[in-house]
Amino acid sequence: MVAPEESMKIIVGGKFKDYPEGLRLSALIRQENVETPEYVTVALNDDFVEAAAFDEIALKEGDSVEFLYFMGGGGE
Amino acid sequence: MSFSNEQLERYSRHIILKEIGIKGQKKLSAASVLIIGAGGLGAPAALYLAAAGVGRIGIADADRVDLSNLQRQIIHGTNDLGKEKAESAAESMRAVNPETRVETHVCFVSAANIGALIAGYDFVLDGTDNFPAKFLINDACVLAKKPFSHAGIIRFRGQLMTYVPGAGPCYRCAFKEPPPPDAVPTCSQAGVVGAMAGVIGSLQAMEAVKYFTGAGELLTGALLTYDALAQEFRKIRLPRREACGVCGSNPTITAPFDYPGAVCEVAP
């Protein structure tokens, strides 16, 4: 018997979501279908995360993740 | 200075507010704002700030009014097609409020002129349509210790933040550097709802009014995002980035500079 994967609640963009415990930040970015993921800014618990660390960071219960997107329009 | 009866009537809905009052209205009369870009964001911001009685408003834009602008740039009318945007905007602003001194700057904003441009104003409002310009405005304002409002819009989304020297992060703290050209879509490629420019440009004007009058809290240390499809506003806390290239503890950017392609390719 394989133990069922433990799930955790994290907050993504202000909303509670269930994800498997220990999910990597890079996997979350994929699962959340982040637009132009190579140019997204990520804040984890109110601190910016460098893109190089996306693969290393394992998310924990209660973590809050924000995706900040480039928006370049306004004039023309 | 004291207000005439006509001025008291014109600004009566401000003056009646305890957060503004006569005192706040006088601050607006003494204030100056530079709006960079007389486009989607600049249009409502310029109209509201002129109507609000901001004493002096500069409007910088090198472009002319084009038919595809009119879906959202409500400061320009069909009769303005082909006119310089800065001039067309100034006409509308003077029509709304002849008391506001409007200064036009028909030029591309670049590293060569931005320092002199912003030096003449108390507050800067970024209404540009491209990343090189947005980073240029950020860097120049941070280096000159000039408060400014940043905003961007695309499709059904918009966002804005306010930089005040010594009070929180700058745009570069969050976004580091411009994405490569065409990596992130622009409004001309992806579209934008006209009213989105109205919502976000008006919020920028609101930030300027609050900055001058001291009313409430500014969007310093926060990014306000608006998703029109979900009809949802969110205020996301923004930390400072210690290693920020311009406002961090060891800045590498010590003078404003142009990213390649910024000047010839796009108008501010």
Per-residue pLDDT tens digits for B190-244: 899 999 999 999 999 999 999 999 999 999 999 999 999 999 999 999 999 999 9
Quote the minimal CA–CA distance from A2 to chain B in Å: 40
**B61 contacts in chain A (CB < 8 Å):** 75
The dihedral over CA atoms of B225, A38, B142, B64, expressed in degrees to the nearest 10, equals -70
User: Which residues pair with residue B84 across a beta bridge?
Assistant: B64
Number of domains in chain A: 1
Dihedrals φ, ψ of B136, to 5°? -60, -45
Q: Give tens-digit pLDDT for B33-43.
A: 999 999 999 99
| The model's pTM | 0.95
Q: How many CA atoms lie within 13 A of A58 on its CB side?
A: 4
> pLDDT at residue B266 above 50?
no
Range B78-88 average pLDDT: 98
In this complex, do A43 and B239 lie within 8 Å of one another by their Cβ atoms?
Answer: yes
Backbone Cα Rg of chain A? 14
Q: Which residue from B180, B265, B243, B88 is spatially nearest to A52, judged by alpha carbons?
A: B243
CB B124 within 8 A of CB B118: yes
Task: Kindly state the tokens that stand for A16.
Answer: 């509670």
**A13 contacts in chain B (CB < 8 Å):** 234
Task: Kindly state the tokens that stand for B148.
Answer: 């400014």
Helix (H) or strand (E) holding B102: strand B101-105
Q: Rounded distance, CA A62 to CA B2, Å? A: 56
Q: Rounded distance, CA B266 to CA B133, Å? A: 9
Outline where DSSP puts E strands in chain A: 7-12, 15-20, 41-44, 47-49, 64-68
Tally Cβ neighbours within 10 Å of residue B102. 22
Q: Give tens-digit pLDDT for A15-72.
A: 999 999 999 999 999 999 999 999 999 999 999 999 999 999 999 999 999 999 999 8
* A1 occurs within a structural domain: no
In this complex, do B131 and A72 lie within 8 Å of one another by their Cβ atoms?
Answer: yes
**Where residue B261 falls among pLDDT bands split at 50, 70, 90?**
low
Q: How many residues does chain B have?
A: 268
* A75 occurs within a structural domain: no
> pLDDT at residue B128 above 70?
yes
What residues make up the domain containing A44?
7-68
Dihedrals φ, ψ of B77, to 5°? -115, 175
Q: Give tens-digit pLDDT for B157-183.
A: 999 999 999 999 999 999 999 999 888
Q: How many residues does chain A have?
A: 76
Helix (H) or strand (E) holding B160: strand B157-163
Q: Which residue from B144, B143, B139, B147 is spatially nearest to B168, judged by alpha carbons?
A: B147
Quote the minimal CA–CA distance from B16 to chain A in Å: 33
Tell me which of 3.40.640.10, 3.40.50.300, 3.40.50.720, 1.10.150.120 is the CATH number of domain B31-265: 3.40.50.720
Mean residue pLDDT of chain B comes to 95
Quote the minimal CA–CA distance from B63 to chain A in Å: 8
Q: Rounded distance, CA B196 to CA B95, Å? A: 24
A9-36: buried (b, 16+ CB within 10 Å) or exposed (e) per residue?
ebebeeeeeebeeebebbbbbeebeeee
B160-170: buried (b, 16+ CB within 10 Å) or exposed (e) per residue?
bbbbbeeebbb
Dihedrals φ, ψ of B126, to 5°? -85, 110
A-B contacts at Cβ under 8 angstroms: 97
CB B85 within 8 A of CB B76: yes
CATH number at residue A62: 3.10.20.30
Q: Rounded distance, CA B81 to CA B87, Å? A: 12
Q: Compare CB distances from A70 to B68, B179, B236 and report the shortest one's residue.
A: B179
**pLDDT at site B264:** 40
Q: Is B237 exposed, middle or buried (0-12, 13-18, 19+ CB in 10 A)?
A: middle
Identity of residue B92: S
Q: Rounded distance, CA B87 to CA B105, Å? A: 9
Range B93-97 average pLDDT: 98
> pLDDT at residue B81 above 80?
yes
**Where residue A2 falls among pLDDT bands split at 50, 70, 90?**
low
Reported ipTM: the value is 0.90
> pLDDT at residue B268 above 60?
no
> pLDDT at residue B263 above 50?
no
**Where residue A3 falls among pLDDT bands split at 50, 70, 90?**
low
